[in-house]
Amino acid sequence: SAVISQKPSRDICQRGTSLTIQCQVDSQVTMMFWYRQQPGQSLTLIATANQGSEATYESGFVIDKFPISRPNLTFSTLTVSNMSPEDSSIYLCSVEDHGSAGVYSYEQYFGPGTRLTVT
């Protein structure tokens, strides 16, 4: 399974500023995803990022607020722009990789998350 790292692991930011979160994978993957997990909640998909194309955003999330880069098959960034306290969440990078059943299974693995607090 893919091993995923994220930077920073946590940060405290002032409202109105922006933070860029990095996601690094130890193998080349086609599909990368960014999720948000608000306090005490489940995971919500922000966008899907494929290398060489624009990210696809889910309802309620827009590129101006959450710009994403995907320069190659092992790396992606998510920027949280013009932050407000409502953006305080855990942001998780995820990748899709073939699972134990080989090329016919599509398992999804998660990074450790970036814990963002906006004051």
Partner 1 sequence: GESVGLHLPTLSVQEGDNSIINCAYSNSASDYFIWYKQESGKGPQFIIDIRSNMDKRQGQRVTVLLNKTVKHLSLQIAATQPGDSAVYFCAEKLNNAGNMLTFGGGTRLMVKP
Interface region with partner 1, contact rule CB under 8 A, candidates 11-19, 60-68, 71-79, 89-97: 89-97
End-to-end CA gap in the chain: 36
Q: How far is the CB of 18 from partner 1 (least distance, A)?
A: 22
Q: Judged by CB under 8 A, does residue 108 bind partner 1?
A: yes
Give yes or no for a cis peptide into 8 (omega within 30° of 0).
yes
Interface region with partner 1, contact rule CB under 8 A, candidates 14-22, 32-40, 65-73, 78-86: 32-40
Distance CA 49, CA 45 (A): 11
Nearest to 71 by CA among 24, 115, 37, 118: 24
- Binding interface with partner 1 (CB under 8 A): 1, 4, 30-31, 33, 37, 39-45, 48, 50, 58, 90, 92, 94, 96, 99, 105-113
